[in-house]
Chain A
């Protein structure tokens, strides 16, 4: 019984180690993770974080109707205040490894109305640029978890042949540009 317990614990530990993220992992096909903060100087409790995960092979192969590369940006708002968003005024750019800057859009309807109209209603609801990101409001009774919103950006597929180096996301209402890039590699 004891030996079985030790064997199972060892297997579980090995599995945990193997699945843990780390630069030392030799796993091929893992996603590239890009992160950015609205105010790098602010504490984590008063921060808004942006992250993107891109798997290279599927990114190169997939596109929306062969016209647009779709990038999903995860926004986690831990600030008290909500952040107003505007599909027309907020901007998104990416920088390729070659240094080329490609401008994208959050408002696919404005960019390509016919393609947008051809999408199903549930897809349009999912892809539509949100109006705002809620803040964390503590009412002293129920602490709220930070609001997480997924924002979809669309880039011309012919100009984005590979995984970019970084993104620059500008939110007009806060007047700031967030650089979303891969964190520096940790020393071995």
Chain B
């Protein structure tokens, strides 16, 4: 590679306009070096090696390109020289400024313009910020302990800084609804989702219920709200309800963030399909598949690319890590749940299932 570059430079030096293009050649080399450094930064900082295609489409690459494009544009514009004023007394700053005022004004204006345009483009192609999500119980739980759930939610907050959960401990009471709201809920095909939207008031919310969602399996989602149901525990057993809820919280958070801040869900999300690779945005009508999806939790390359580009490498990495539930199965968390909350079945171990406990 270095031999090739040396030959290229020798070739260019022999050209008539070498002095003119030399700054641009140097800028080009600096651009390539910066992109390489950005690629290595992603690997070292986030432990994630993007494919070349993913990197070229990422906001890292685009932002570096914007900066160097701005610099190149300034270099071109600076080569345009306005006419200088009449010769003035040498050695005086004011004389210098008076003589070159057209040039100074032109270049200052061009710099400000390019910086302004570059900043707008820079921000536009950056990762989106995500919001705090509230978690609300739709009924008094019987299959899990609210205080143990609170601990898991706080552990999720501890594990990452991309977003935060707030847990509302007071179960929802439909008796507090207005008459019109109660009547509307009775007409709704998805009353739990309707309740959640009323509670959320436009803010992100994940509701947890132990009741059926009707035709929906496990979870349902609409714009800023999601509902997670534990009624089908037989299908995810011997995974514990805590493992199931933790997994669903992460997945539903991603959906809410995409809908509220990331330009919407990708096409085909949760469309029924008999074939599945275990992606988090897939829906398989066979309920037994959920258990396999949770156990082998992973983001597909397309899902990684989408999260990387919409919310940044850190967010994507956090999601990848949280979905595996390794943090929940760690010795510290399992011990805390057992000792402080009396929950000894928080993680599924051979021979220790919720069914066996019952």
Please indicate whether A and B come from the same complex rather than being unrelated chains: yes
Interface residues of A (CB under 8 A from B): 82, 87, 107, 109, 113-114, 116-117, 121, 124-125, 127-132, 134, 139-142
Give the distance in Å from the alpha carbon of A29 to the alpha carbon of B342 in the complex.
47
User: Given contacts A116-B178, A125-B173, A125-B176, are A82 and B140 in contact (CB under 8 A)?
Assistant: yes
Question: Which A residues lie within 8 Å of B182 (CB)?
Answer: 109
Question: Which B residues lie within 8 Å of A117 (CB)?
Answer: 178-180
Give the distance in Å from the alpha carbon of A116 to the alpha carbon of B183 in the complex.
14
- What is the 8 Å Cβ interface bit string for chain B, positions 265-295, against chain A (1 contact, 0 not)? 0000000000000000000000000000000
Give the distance in Å from the alpha carbon of A142 to the alpha carbon of B179 in the complex.
40
Give the distance in Å from the alpha carbon of A60 to the alpha carbon of B142 in the complex.
42
CB distance from B319 to the nearest CB of A (A): 33
User: Given contacts A87-B175, A129-B175, are A141 and B180 in contact (CB under 8 A)?
Assistant: no
Of A113, A131, A142, which is within 8 A of B173 by CB? A131
Give the distance in Å from the alpha carbon of A113 to the alpha carbon of B179 in the complex.
6
**B175 pairs with A141, CB closer than 8 A:** no
CB distance from B179 to the nearest CB of A (A): 4
Nearest A residue to B139 by beta-carbon distance? A131
Question: Which B residues lie within 8 Å of A134 (CB)?
Answer: 140
CB distance from B346 to the nearest CB of A (A): 13
Nearest A residue to B147 by beta-carbon distance? A142
CB distance from B148 to the nearest CB of A (A): 10
**A107 pairs with B175, CB closer than 8 A:** yes
**A128 pairs with B175, CB closer than 8 A:** yes
Interface residues of B (CB under 8 A from A): 139-140, 142, 145, 171, 173, 175-180, 182, 339-342
Give the distance in Å from the alpha carbon of A142 to the alpha carbon of B336 in the complex.
13
CB distance from A87 to the nearest CB of B (A): 6
8 A-B residue pairings within 8 Å (CB atoms): A117-B179, A117-B180, A132-B140, A139-B145, A139-B341, A140-B342, A141-B340, A141-B341
**B140 pairs with A124, CB closer than 8 A:** no
**B342 pairs with A142, CB closer than 8 A:** yes
Q: 6 nearest interchain CB pairs? A: A139-B342, A128-B175, A141-B342, A128-B176, A113-B179, A124-B176
Give the distance in Å from the alpha carbon of A141 to the alpha carbon of B247 in the complex.
27
**B179 pairs with A116, CB closer than 8 A:** yes
Question: Which A residues lie within 8 Å of B142 (CB)?
Answer: 82
Q: Besides A82-B140, A82-B142, 5 other CB < 8 A contacts?
A: A109-B177, A116-B179, A124-B177, A140-B342, A142-B340
Give the distance in Å from the alpha carbon of A124 to the alpha carbon of B176 in the complex.
5
Question: Which A residues lie within 8 Å of B171 (CB)?
Answer: 131
Nearest B residue to A141 by beta-carbon distance? B342
User: Given contacts A131-B140, A132-B140, are A141 and B339 in contact (CB under 8 A)?
Assistant: yes
Question: Which A residues lie within 8 Å of B179 (CB)?
Answer: 109, 113-114, 116-117
CB distance from A144 to the nearest CB of B (A): 10
**B140 pairs with A121, CB closer than 8 A:** no
Give the distance in Å from the alpha carbon of A141 to the alpha carbon of B179 in the complex.
43
Nearest A residue to B339 by beta-carbon distance? A141
Nearest B residue to A119 by beta-carbon distance? B178
CB distance from B74 to the nearest CB of A (A): 57
Of A113, A114, A142, which is within 8 A of B341 by CB? A142
Give the distance in Å from the alpha carbon of A116 to the alpha carbon of B342 in the complex.
41
Of B178, B340, B341, which is within 8 A of A124 by CB? B178
Nearest A residue to B145 by beta-carbon distance? A139
